[in-house]
Chain A
């Protein structure tokens, strides 16, 4: 008789070799615990209000806004890969498309979830749609992110429906087939939306006239950070995908994509990063010499606080910008896996640092001459919900990897025949 051991073999793509269910559950369990703690922390914030956080009137935005900006930047790989594959027809990137979509979906849904905890009155958040102030960058962000999350969900559906059991349902299968055919439309819409909201997220701080550290001159209604954010997001997105895929390969012990694909992603990332660094340098010079002094603020003031001196500027632009750009672009370093991964990690860290500086340092810096430089330590609730989002991402990705054909052709399926 068939063994009574619980098995999910029927749900796993045929031919794909996966660890046993018990081992898989063992892998998930710590993440599930983390997620549970995160959900509990988030529930505390929703139920008792934001007094559960350590944010205050000066530090009105805290860890979460950094998380939001950070993971949305890293999630840019989703739209950018879709753009490259469907619009620019770079079909060689197709094998990573599914992973890009799943990662993007995780990043965006996580960001939206955090955003909903982060506002004081989530029950009224829909007012933004009903009474939008179209001059607000946040309105643009809200509209675009919700639409793009919808797009990502729709892009995720075909992947989901390719699950072995789900595709047995004919209506699902045919719908998947038809939706898949229309995915280029979604990719185009996603590109448009991403372009705007990545930019608006940059604009979020760039328009703050009252915060000369963040305020930037710009083009029409868009401050320069609008464009810088788009650039840095599409530069770091592929690097983040490299990191993710390498991690998955490491964890599963499987070769998932050809080495050549790594190099290609790295090259794209490196070139874009180099362009970003160049533009960022120009922007910084303009800001230091014109924008900030015009508002009555001498730029040296921003960097006189302990831990937030000019090294942070150096790290942001050179150490975690220019350097990884070189490493990612040069054939020699990009060919070596350790160098490649280091460089990709540096590129991601650089973009995260940029988001950190713009969100946290901006708030920490005084504006009134009799104000102090502020410190802020997130509460455990903030950290836990942050960690919960990461756990959520790991769980969703693990489930997707296990039950969905994420990497185009499941290798090994034919091994027993081809060996013949």
Chain B
């Protein structure tokens, strides 16, 4: 039989030697076989699934979700919060619509406040100078200092139970207690001078005002308790040509408030006081207000020249201010000339004006950067980071976040957002007294102490924050007035016991007193205030100067052009 031989196999085909051809055929068989197994298909599928669940992508926590009522403790405006908690961590923040003042609104930063505890700039260790230290060392250093000389305690959020601890300590130690107030609070200091009523007891009755003249105060942009004015403004016919509430914004640039206000009056930068004097002159000149003395020394022409508005325009503005009353003037800061306009307009103590709301509040001592000859300065975490005491004393600074370059000798990690029990006194500018309690909702992941806790641990005779809150609750309950804003609004008469009252407060309910309207009070304005310095301070929300920003805030200024980026601390 004749056999054919493939030409390649002439030599290579001998025996069972593995040839290249065999390898190719084997490979083809293996490839065909592999296609009939799950290998390619399953790997393809699994790799896709892997790409949907990349292990380096963070996964949200699992666990029971609950919603707790609380308050924002980042600044003294005391907005009501609903905090979503999952597995013991705060996973979401929303405004609490039952809160009588903030009414469910919050400033943009608050929506990411729960992330602040994880901020990279979170202060995690006790720091002494540039080196790490311990709480024990800090305590002994402070104890030594307070033995040696007076201690100045500086608070940024007065009226809290913790403030009371600080004040008590300062009193006992022989030092002093001073407050760095927010501009909203400072704006009341002229009235405090003229009437003797403490600034913290005064408030604006926006709800009944018909015209609000704002001298540069960012009323619609985080001024005061944000929700209060924005909701009021929105509900009073925003955008209409004749709204129920006329908002006249006097501003040197088209700020957010100016842009959305009923009227924007453009003036030269820093000429608010001058315009206030001119406006007072125009009001008196046109007999738009009852005759009054003293009268401003500045003439209309001078005012006009400084503000960059024509005399006629100022007169027109004066007519506009009183066209719809009650009219209320709001200053951005403690500018007496602007405050005096309210005296002229008769807004003090009247409906739609400036009203006192609580008794027994002490006038605060404003903290100056020059402190004198203290042995030590204790700075509470609520004090703005920019506040730097100019003093040769040993500085103990509490802070939850490290805002960068500082002259503090001791930097002590304070509780972060909702990590500490605190109470919330009336926010600046409120027309009625309020009170709330924010318990520690989340546990701190690092060792923290508030200034009050720190002092209490040094001096056992000091009352603790919890105790003070307790007694404050009891005092409030005993007064039997106002309402409790919880799940429902209940008059305090309906609350059965002090226990139940406390319980509800601890669950996030707010107690609010009634606004005391038509309680006109005497005002001794001896002379028309001279023009003061141009307005310097801006509110927290507009100047964007919290110690740190939540990372998400970059949505507003970095990932969009909505706002100006924050100015970093030097």
Q: Chain A: residues with CB nearer than 8 A to chain B?
A: 121, 123-124, 126-127, 169-171
Contacts and interface: CB of A to CB of B under 8 A. Distances in A.
A168 to B, nearest CB: 9
Given A123-B51, A170-B8, 11 more contacts: A121-B51, A123-B47, A123-B48, A123-B50, A124-B48, A124-B52, A126-B44, A126-B48, A169-B8, A170-B7, A171-B21
B6 interface: yes
Interface of B: 6-8, 21, 44, 47-48, 50-52
A171 B48 CA distance: 38
Contacts of B51: 121, 123-124
A366 B281 CA distance: 51
Contacts of B8: 169-170
A323 B518 CA distance: 87
Nearest to A169: B8
A127 B44 CA distance: 10
A127 B52 CA distance: 13
Most chain A CB atoms below 10 A, which of B6, B21, B47, B48: B48
B56 to A, nearest CB: 12
A124 B51 CA distance: 8
A124 B49 CA distance: 9
Nearest to B20: A169
A170 B47 contact: no
A127 B45 CA distance: 10
A170 B52 CA distance: 48
A81 B21 CA distance: 36
B41 to A, nearest CB: 11
16 contacts: A121-B51, A123-B47, A123-B48, A123-B50, A123-B51, A124-B48, A124-B51, A124-B52, A126-B44, A126-B48, A127-B48, A169-B8, A170-B6, A170-B7, A170-B8, A171-B21
Contacts of A123: 47-48, 50-51
A126 B50 CA distance: 14
A39 to B, nearest CB: 21
Nearest to A171: B21
A132 to B, nearest CB: 16
A126 B45 CA distance: 10
Contacts of A124: 48, 51-52
Contacts of A171: 21
Contacts of B6: 170
A119 to B, nearest CB: 12
Contacts of A126: 44, 48
Contacts of A170: 6-8
Contacts of B52: 124
A144 B398 CA distance: 66
A29 B44 CA distance: 36
A67 B524 CA distance: 80
Nearest to A121: B51
A45 B315 CA distance: 65
A172 to B, nearest CB: 10
B434 to A, nearest CB: 41
A158 B50 CA distance: 39
Shortest beta-carbon contacts, A-B, top 4: A123-B51, A124-B48, A123-B47, A123-B48
Nearest to B21: A171
Nearest to B44: A126
Nearest to A127: B48
Contacts of B48: 123-124, 126-127
Nearest to B559: A57
Contacts of B21: 171
Nearest to A125: B48
B47 to A, nearest CB: 5
A49 to B, nearest CB: 11
A123 B44 CA distance: 8
Contacts of B7: 170
A251 B7 CA distance: 40
Contacts of A169: 8
A171 B6 CA distance: 11
A126 B8 CA distance: 42
Nearest to B52: A124
A170 B7 CA distance: 9
B75 to A, nearest CB: 33
A170 B47 CA distance: 40
Contacts of A121: 51
A219 B52 CA distance: 39
Nearest to A120: B51
Contacts of B44: 126
A38 B426 CA distance: 65
A123 B54 CA distance: 12
A62 B161 CA distance: 59
A121 B53 CA distance: 12
B256 to A, nearest CB: 17
B415 to A, nearest CB: 37
B6 to A, nearest CB: 7
Nearest to B24: A171
Nearest to A122: B51
A372 to B, nearest CB: 11
A56 to B, nearest CB: 11
A126 B44 CA distance: 9
A171 B47 CA distance: 37
A305 B79 CA distance: 48
Contacts of A127: 48
A121 B51 CA distance: 8
B12 to A, nearest CB: 12
Contacts of B50: 123
Nearest to B47: A123
A170 B6 CA distance: 9
A384 B170 CA distance: 68
A160 to B, nearest CB: 16
Contacts of B47: 123
A123 B50 CA distance: 9
B298 to A, nearest CB: 42
A207 B7 CA distance: 59
A169 B8 CA distance: 8
A65 B48 CA distance: 24
A26 to B, nearest CB: 32
A121 B49 CA distance: 11
B42 to A, nearest CB: 13
A127 B47 CA distance: 12
A126 B51 CA distance: 13
A238 to B, nearest CB: 39
A123 B47 CA distance: 7
A169 B7 CA distance: 10
B44 to A, nearest CB: 7
Nearest to A57: B559
A343 to B, nearest CB: 48
